Amino acid sequence: MVGQLADYISALATQLVKNKVETHVVTYHDSMTDAVEEASGVKVARVANPVRTHIGVLTWDLTLNQEVERAVANIYYGANKQIDLINVYDWHFIPAAVTLKNALNIPFVYSVESLENQRSPNSNTPYNMSIKSIEWLGFYEAEKVSAKSEWMRDEVVRIYSVPEEKIHIVSPSSDTWIKDVLGLYKTAAGGLKSK
Amino acid sequence: MKNKLSVMMFTWEFPPRVIGGISPHVFFLSKSLAKTGVKVHVVTCDFPGAPAHEVIDGVDVYRVDSYKNPAPDFATWVYLMNLNMQKEAAVIVNKLANKIDVFHAHDWLVATAGIGLKHVFRKPLLVTMHSTEIGRRDGLHTDTEKMIHETEAWLTYEAWKVICCSDYMVSHVRWAFGLPEDKLVMIPNGVNLSVYDGIENDLASFRAKYALPEEKIVLYVGRLVYEKGIHVLINAVSKVLEKINAKFIIVGSGYMKEQLLNIVRSMRLEHKVLFMGFVDDETLLRLQKCADVSVVPSLFEPFGIVALEAMAAKSPVVVSDTGGLSEIIDHDVTGFKAYPNNPESLAWGINKILLDENYKNYVRENAYRKVQEKYDWQKIAQQTKAIYKAVLGEFSKSFWA
């Protein structure tokens, strides 16, 4: 666990399974790799980075994405090509989501936890700009975007000029939280196929 | 029609984008493969003025956004560029209704695009290792070098077959990444003989721009970097001049340029060593035609295409006895092999060729014949096609098929 995201995804995945959504979580772990099914019914695939030496977070992330693609492809072909939607959290796995969308026609929802602009205010070094360009790519390629608050939605609109109607607010503290998630998924999943 | 073998190649350079040897290699290989009936799609980086899609002699060339935002460093840029290449290649594969049989990556510079696409489309991946980081740097000294090395290792692990252009490179790659022997294939690099046709007009006046009539021309073509051994040649200059009047023409650029210029200045030989920087293709071909001897003094050389080009131009060659050069040149038959990193030995070979007209003509005629027999692109394309077919035969029995 690095931040609060791990707990949130765990709770979300468990709720999704309870709502009869077959749910696979693809995530990183340095040693505990391979696919397992947890007691909750959530299937988790953990991948490590085959490249062990890195010169920064970006190179680590950009190489790890191929392993994410490999894990998702294994799930996809194992499930007879039946994956309706990918939900990607923050910029780290946007590259994999974009490739999988363009290769396998699986639409994705980009859930924004935070933005580079907020994490590193007023920083426009090549490092920050590279992360911002990945965020931009995510917003551009996503079928839908989910934000946890109106404020975050407005930030996405302000910084990246994303059309407001593309962004759904899904607040974890709302009583209708899981219903909102399922509604968003349903809207997004039809996306690419209907085009 | 469905049965036409179809390959998608990934390369970070393709003409008009030319940085090193991969660009001409993929250019000639793809065109020659097309002639053998293989459908080739090349996915490469964009270049100012070059179209995003064009068909060159039956080869579909796609130039993708090579990532133009500032990147923190070269290696990070490579991975960012691969992100775009992968995305755009995925769209192309889908547009082609998935009719790609094989992915073929050239070097670590397109590793992550090749690996990712292999898994999402479940097609076999081949790689040609043109060089290695551990060879280029003579070891792994920094985190960047280690990271590139590990990326190369990962790429060769993911590849169904690893193609190398010389026996030396086969054993080097096998050692560097611990690969099983049956995973490696040797297919030599090729050279295009026809480019030297019709460039002999006005050669005398062209020559006069660079050297006096009584001066012999000693030509070096390559990057001015440590692994190419250019400093060995510079240290041999005065030894050559003790025996014969010559002009040293150095084509290429690199980080060692200032250092080399300082050595030449300190020897007061500026009038004998001409640093040309990069030159256009026609000038290069004419220089190769004019050269009384071409020198390839590399310390690390996976293949040695420059020697082969000189041989095709009928210029006699002196090479260091290392890597792929050792295989291209038969000593005293198709050229002279000097001890690596040894200016005395290099000077001895240069003088031998410049002072002995019979020897010079004997080696250059033999060399030209060898190029015709062994390094013809059409033959190389046939060998490559045979590997594709063998891989597809094995692949058809795998659970991905």
ipTM of the complex: 0.95
Report the alpha-carbon angle B319-B321-B322, nearest 5: 110
Tell me the angle at which helices B377-395 and B22-35 cross, rounded to the nearest 10 degrees: 80
Please state the rounded mean pLDDT for residues B60-89: 96
* Cα B154 from Cα B127, distance rounded (Å): 11
Residue of chain A whose alpha carbon sits nearest to that of B85:
A99
CB pair distance less than 8 Å for B119 and A77:
no
Domains observed in chain B: 6-190+376-395 (3.40.50.2000), 193-374 (3.40.50.2000)
Q: Determine whether the interchain pair A100/B150 forms a contact, defined as Cβ–Cβ distance below 8 Å.
A: no
pLDDT for the residue numbered B195 = 86
Chain B residue with Cα closest to A134: B80
Spatial distance between the Cα atoms of B296 and B135, rounded to a whole number of angstroms: 17
> Which residues of chain B does A142 touch, with a Cβ-Cβ cutoff of 8 Å?
none
Look up the CATH superfamily of A5-194.
Glycogen Phosphorylase B; (3.40.50.2000)
Q: Helix H segments across B196-337?
A: 203-208, 230-241, 257-266, 281-290, 305-312, 323-328
Render pLDDT for A145-170 as a digit per residue (tens, 0 to 9).
Answer: 999 999 999 999 999 999 999 999 99
Judged against a pLDDT cut of 90, whether residue B118 lies above it is answered with yes
pLDDT interval class at B27 (50, 70, 90):
very high
pLDDT (tens digit, 9 = 90+) per residue, B191-230? 888 888 878 878 999 999 999 999 999 999 999 999 999 9
B82/A99 Cβ within 8 A: no
pLDDT of res. A193: 53
Quick one: average pLDDT of B183-194?
92
Q: Place B25 in a pLDDT band, splitting at 50, 70 and 90.
A: very high
B300 within 8 A of B319, measured Cβ to Cβ: no
Report how far apart, in Å, the C-alpha atoms of B389 and of each of B9, B42, B116, B120 are: 16, 19, 22, 22
Structural element, H or E, at residue B45: strand B39-45
Residues in chain A with CB shorter than 8 Å from the CB of B117 are 99, 103
Condensed to tens digits (0 to 9), the pLDDT of residues B315-355 reads 999 999 999 999 999 999 999 999 999 999 999 999 999 99
Interface of A with B (CB under 8 A): 50-56, 58-59, 62-63, 65-66, 69-70, 72-74, 77, 95-96, 98-100, 102-105, 125-127, 129-130, 133-134, 137
Q: Flag whether pLDDT at A52 surpasses 90.
A: yes
End-to-end CA distance of chain B: 20
**For chain B, what percent of residues have pLDDT higher than 90?**
90
Confidence band, pLDDT 50/70/90 cuts, at residue A3: confident
Whether the predicted pLDDT of B168 surpasses 80:
yes
Cβ–Cβ gap A130/B69 under 8 Å = yes
pLDDT band at B272 (very low <50, low <70, confident <90, very high): very high
Tell me the pTM: 0.89
User: Which band of pLDDT confidence, cut at 50, 70 and 90, is reported for residue A191?
Assistant: low
CB contact under 8 A, B151 and A125: no
pLDDT band at B1 (very low <50, low <70, confident <90, very high): very low
Average pLDDT, chain A: 94
Amino acid at B79: Y
pLDDT value, residue B302: 87
